Amino acid sequence: MRILIIGAGQVGSSIAENLSESHKVVIMDIDPVRVSDLSYSYDVLAICGDGNNIKNLEEVGKIDLFLACTNDDEKNLIACESSKMIGDAFTVARVKNSVLFESWSRSKGSFGVDFMACSDRLISEAIIKITGTPAALDADYFADGKIQMAEFEINPNSFISNKTVLEADQFELLTFAAIITESEIIIPTGSTMILPGHRIVVIGTPESVKSFSTQLEPTTKKTQNIVLIGGSSIIAETASLFSSIKVNTTLITSGKDASLELAKKLPNTMVMCHISDIRFLEAENINQSDLVVVHLSSDEKTLLISLLIKQLGVRRIVSIVNSGSYVSLFENVGIDVAVNPRELISEAIIGFTHQVNTEHIALLDSNRVELLEVEIGSDSNISGKTIQEISSSMPNLVLIGAIVRDEQAIAPRGDTTIKYGDHIVILTDVSVLDKVLQQL
């Protein structure tokens, strides 16, 4: 597949890095320094030019996929419209403005955009998914919500710590899909030991994942009181979504003008004007919150405030981290969940490059692990085969974690036969992803 990416910022560069080994990638940016850096960093054709200029697009030649990923929403829309004027490539626009996204959603295909990835909406939805699963580091849904994936860190007091997978597997319709360590990804067998510090990925029905999560961190308290710290558009979008599902939401920001503006936009959210005053946070009983989400003007400020409120005894903290290289730092110092916007945008877009019937993908562990939902077509190589037959021909780091057939979830076993029309959820190490896709 030949892919043109407009914009070589963090998002565009990240997507180029992920796709360059498997596809012919052309990336265009108006900044010659960025273009030069990319030429030396990745196996891509980097061009200095304006993606809104039709002549520049014509010079690139025929492409299959057009990705507009600059920081300017309007420029991304113009670039997609320009692409449609000279070719038939599938167009994807990255936008931040959720109002623009809502307008496009009412008439998909408008603005010359075949798919729109709204970063503010994606991050807000990711936080809500994580919120609904106690103790989860990450969570996502597949097959129209019938299947859930969740990632958990195992602590020494966990009920499955120092047990084998066979001993821990007490849950119906739940698969222990992977164990992630700092150095490797393990597809577990029944004899695999689950140790403190391991991160375990489970796949199953939402009910089975919730049952597992509740035993992992026993709690009867439903997430009902949320505090959001910061004044970014992401924080505002998250507040709006939490309010829409009737969760008590308080937003704390700095600056009187900013707080008044947010209060007008968010009539169902309590907005306050303080951030770094620890006495104010203590007086507002922030430690009684079920969840605190932090996103400030810099990652350094976000980390400082996150650590500050962690010391106050807040049960769970989600920090939104702009730089992907800082995610591990946040996690290593005790922040419960670090969410990176760039990774979520990449996740939303990369699925369009898979030349199979991919319905949805999720990326874990800084893109080392990919989960993908695939609909089995009549010409699929694995239709009519058992899980055991499929596994014997697949690379080692692959697992079929769930099957949905006729709207019903099925726990995959060795003798389970994959059929036409099934939706399957596959977990794979990205290093073998291309081989997996070829065999589907």
**Mind listing the domains of the chain with CATH numbers?**
2-113 (3.40.50.720), 225-339 (3.40.50.720), 345-439 (3.30.70.1450)
In the predicted model, what is the mean pLDDT of residues 361-387? 91
In the predicted model, what is the mean pLDDT of residues 428-433? 91
User: 315 pLDDT band (50/70/90 cuts)?
Assistant: confident
Q: Which of 15-24, 147-156, 269-278 has the lowest mean pLDDT?
A: 269-278
Percentage of the chain modeled with pLDDT above 90: 74
Does 359 have pLDDT greater than 90?
no
In the chain, what's the furthest Cα-to-Cα distance? 64
In the predicted model, what is the mean pLDDT of residues 404-409? 95
Does 313 have pLDDT greater than 60?
yes
**Over the chain, what HEC string results?**
CEEEEECCCHHHHHHHHHHCCCCEEEEEECCHHHHHHHHHHCCCEEEECCCCCHHHHHHHCCCCEEEECCCCHHHHHHHHHHHHHHCCCEEEEEECCHHHHHHHHHCCCHHHCCEEEEHHHHHHHHHHHHHCCCCEEEEEEECCCCEEEEEEECCCCCCCCCEEHHHHCCCCCEEEEEEECCCCEECCCCCCEECCCCEEEEEECHHHHHHHHHHHCCCCCCCCEEEEECCCHHHHHHHHHHHHCCCEEEEEECCHHHHHHHHHHCCCCEEEECCCCHHHHHHCCHHHCCEEEECCCCHHHHHHHHHHHHHCCCCCEEEECCCHHHHHHHHHCCCCEEECHHHHHHHHHHHHHCCCCEEEEEEECCCCEEEEEEECCCCCCCCCCEHHHHHHHCCCCEEEEEEEECCEEECCCCCCECCCCCEEEEEEEHHHHHHHHHHC
Does 219 have pLDDT greater than 70?
no
Q: Which two tokens stand for residue 116?
A: 């729109």
Does 77 have pLDDT greater than 60?
yes
User: 369 pLDDT band (50/70/90 cuts)?
Assistant: very high
At residue 275, the pLDDT reads 64
Does 187 have pLDDT greater than 80?
yes
**What pLDDT, in 10s, does the model give residues 327-338?**
989 988 999 999
At residue 276, the pLDDT reads 63
Residue entry with tokens 């709204």: 118
In the predicted model, what is the mean pLDDT of residues 154-170? 94
Q: Which of 71-85, 171-185, 357-371 has the lowest mean pLDDT?
A: 357-371
User: 256 pLDDT band (50/70/90 cuts)?
Assistant: confident
Does 156 have pLDDT greater than 60?
yes
User: 257 pLDDT band (50/70/90 cuts)?
Assistant: confident
Q: What is the C-alpha separation between 223 and 292, in angstroms, rounded?
A: 11
Does 353 have pLDDT greater than 90?
no
Q: What is the mean pLDDT of the chain?
A: 92
Q: In Å, how far are 60, 110, 396 from 431, measured between CA atoms?
A: 29, 36, 11
User: 25 pLDDT band (50/70/90 cuts)?
Assistant: very high
At residue 367, the pLDDT reads 81
At residue 429, the pLDDT reads 92
Q: Which of 201, 226, 145, 232 is nearest to 428 (CA)?
A: 201
User: Is 255 or 243 the better-scoring residue by pLDDT?
Assistant: 243
